[in-house]
Amino acid sequence: METLFKRLSEISASTILLILLAIFVVLYIQAKPAIEKYGLHFLVESKWGVSVDKNNTPNVVKEKVNNTSTIQDDTLDEDLADDSLDEDIAIEDDDALAAAGVEKNTQNSDVVYGGLIPIVGTILSTLIAMIFAVPIAMGIAIFLSEIAPPFIAKPVGIAIELLAAIPSIIYGMWGLFYFGPFISKIVGGSSVNLLVAGLVLGIMIIPFMASLTRDSMKTTPNVLKESAYAMGATKFEVIKDVIFPYAKQGIIGSMILALGRALGETMAVAFVIGGVFNFPHKLTDPTVSIPVVLANNFAESSGLSLAALFYLALILFVISFIVISFAKFYFLRDKK
Amino acid sequence: MRLIINKIILILSTLAAILGLIFLFWILITLTIKGVKAINLYIFTHDLVDNGLRNLLVGQLVLALIAILIGVPIGMIAGIYLQEYSFNNKFAKFIRNLSDVMMSAPSIVIGTFVYAILVNPIGHMNGWAGAIALAILMLPIVVRTTDDMLGLVPKELREAGVAIGAPKYRVIFDIIIRAAKVGIMTGLLLAFARIIGETAPLLFTSGNSQYFTLNLNEEFPSLTVAIYNLATMPDKHLVDIAWAGAFILTFFVLIINLIGRYIVKDKK
């Protein structure tokens, strides 16, 4: 009985390893047709679902035709995009068409799938989110750990942590109906675009980042802070010269962890990024990110387009795995 | 000069905190206003096909509960291994780190994985696939919680158990787990709160259904997926239903979190 339970516990612990390995292997196998066909060129190819016939002139497959001309055509129909509701409906309807269209076209010509647009969309939206979230999260963390008196810091701290628990779909829905229109009033353009997606993503990771950063800052021993104050240092100098150097690793680690979370976030972005294969030439262009491509197209795809989607999923998995491992092993390793 | 810089920085960070809070309360307030307006008895007693939420609420709970039934035993036993059997060897450290990394893996990628192994071979989306995707998602959280909580149990308790001649598994189940019960329960509650609001891994695993069903072999109703679909409908009434669902979901999650917090505080 004892040895039996011990074996069982070993097996359970190994499932973690097995599942992660299985995810990698299964995604690789599923993506293989696309990997073999496009190789690493997939990463720099901006066409998605475009058939190229023998004359090598690209034909846009009926994918998302309603809203955008898919490739290198930034004369986007702003009016249509303006009405976010209409647009999203149109996209969903078109997905079914697209799946059918792609299947037909495969027979007489070559369909090209490339991941450049979703990859760029993912990176840019995450970048905007980080630029927006880092200063605010730092501000909140400084406020909570150094400025606010305990009777304010405590409820605000709890509020921030609770807000980190709100499902991401709520952030997305709020972004679609309230924040997107609000931003479009200020900067113009449509209410679903790269900028809105990045900002909503930023707002979503603020609570997560702030509470982790605050925790790191709180690990600074009081003795250090007090000796600095005793030398006549101001609060800012203590924060800058004592707390930051001491908690640097933890703070950077928290930021990267939040970055990893932003990279793979689906629902908060899916509502507000536009979901169209369009290379963003300016911040207010609608585009698409890897998780959103997966969310919108996965169920209706098959064959080569499905393999291409698995290729994207694999890329996302590997990138976030590297980012998170980097944060964990390089910056947060002292904790354990 | 130093004092002025100090003032400026302090004011800036206070402003940042206020700005952050404004956004977050903006979300909660719109959610409450929109949600309360749309909530009535009708949506709790009718299914989506009749513009109600009943099948969705039940479906989401069923998926999460099955995920718990699958994920919790495996996760807990794995946590027990890490804390009690591994003697902190290299393998245990490796698994611990891996589990932490897996905790932050994009949930949609887990959805694609489950799609490949459970949806594609069967040919259509089904409730089991959704539940298993959620179970995979919660597994690392359960491992981490169990691991941490067992680590807090004093060594003397273990030694006392072993000293009276109990086999190790009895010590673990009768002494250590009992001592760590509150902490583990809290962790499980928080893991539950985390998966109940997940949408991405369900989109193409369990899908959605208009009707009330408990048959996990078919497409399965889910509140979060339905919110995603309904919110982008042109029909304003359907959008209102989505708001009602969003409101119920958010406050359910927040209440579970508060309960978890209260238990921890009570214990201390």
Residues with Cβ within 8 Å of A56's Cβ and at least 6 positions away in sequence, in order, are: none
Reduced to 3 states, what is the DSSP secondary structure of residue A48? strand
> Which residues of chain B are within 8 Å of residue A299 when distances are taken between CB atoms?
125, 203-204, 207
Q: How far apart are CA A277 and CA A66, in angstroms?
A: 12
Residue in A closest to B261 by C-alpha: A158
Q: How far apart are CA A327 and CA B67, in angstroms?
A: 28
> Which residues of chain B are within 8 Å of residue A298 when distances are taken between CB atoms?
111-112, 115, 203-204
pLDDT in tens, A230-248: 888 888 888 888 998 888 8
Kindly report the average pLDDT of chain B as a whole number: 88
Kindly report the average pLDDT of chain A as a whole number: 80
Please report the pLDDT score of residue A61 as a whole number: 44
pLDDT band at residue B67 under the 50/70/90 scheme: very high
**CB distance from B3 to chain A under 8 Å?**
yes
pLDDT in tens, A160-193: 888 888 999 999 999 999 998 998 888 877 888 8
Please report the pLDDT score of residue A276 as a whole number: 83
For every residue of B121-171, DSSP letters joined together read TTSS--HHHHHHHHHHHHHHHHHHHHHHHHHHS-HHHHHHHHHTT--HHHI
**CB distance from A318 to chain B under 8 Å?**
no
β-partners of residue A334 are none
pLDDT band at residue A29 under the 50/70/90 scheme: very high
The type of residue at A237 is: E
Instruction: Please name the helix (run of DSSP H) or strand (run of DSSP E) that holds residue B19, with its range, or none.
Output: helix B2-38
Residue in A closest to B227 by C-alpha: A169
Q: How far is CA A279 from CA A37, A88, A175, A282, in A?
A: 23, 18, 22, 9
pLDDT over threshold 70, residue A278: yes
Reduced to 3 states, what is the DSSP secondary structure of residue A287? strand
Give the mutation candidate from B112, B124, B142 for the A interface (greatest A CB count, under 10 A): B112
Look at A147 and B14 and tell me if their CB atoms are within 8 Å.
yes
A67-76, A99-108, B30-39: least confident range: A67-76
β-partners of residue A10 are none
Shortest CB distance from A136 goes to which of B16, B116, B233?
B16
Residues with Cβ within 8 Å of B260's Cβ and at least 6 positions away in sequence, in order, are: B186, B189, B190, B193
Please report the pLDDT score of residue A52 as a whole number: 67
pLDDT in tens, A105-152: 444 457 788 888 999 999 999 999 999 999 999 999 999 988 888 888
Residues with Cβ within 8 Å of A27's Cβ and at least 6 positions away in sequence, in order, are: A310, A313, A314, A317, B109, B112, B113, B116
Look at A271 and B101 and tell me if their CB atoms are within 8 Å.
no
- Can you give the residue ranges of every domain in chain A? 2-113, 117-335
pLDDT in tens, A301-330: 888 888 989 999 999 999 999 998 888 877
Reduced to 3 states, what is the DSSP secondary structure of residue A111? strand
Residue A315's nearest CA partner among A161, A200, A307, B158 is A307
pLDDT over threshold 50, residue B28: yes
A21-30, A143-152, B58-67: least confident range: A143-152
**10 Å Cβ neighbour count for A176?**
23
Shortest CB distance from B108 goes to which of A14, A162, A291?
A291
Please report the pLDDT score of residue A184 as a whole number: 87
Look at A321 and B105 and tell me if their CB atoms are within 8 Å.
yes
- Residues A29-36: what's their mean pLDDT? 88
Residues with Cβ within 8 Å of B112's Cβ and at least 6 positions away in sequence, in order, are: A27, A30, A294, A298, A309, A310, A313, B204
pLDDT over threshold 70, residue A91: no
How near does any CA of chain B get to the CA of A57, in Å?
A: 33
Torsion sign (Cα): A91, A94, A99, A103: negative
pLDDT in tens, B29-42: 999 999 888 888 88
The domain A117-335 having CATH identifier 1.20.1510.10: the answer here is: no
How many A/B residue pairs have CB atoms within 8 Å?
268
The domain B42-267 having CATH identifier 3.30.70.3420: the answer here is: no
pLDDT band at residue B182 under the 50/70/90 scheme: confident
**CB distance from A72 to chain B under 8 Å?**
no
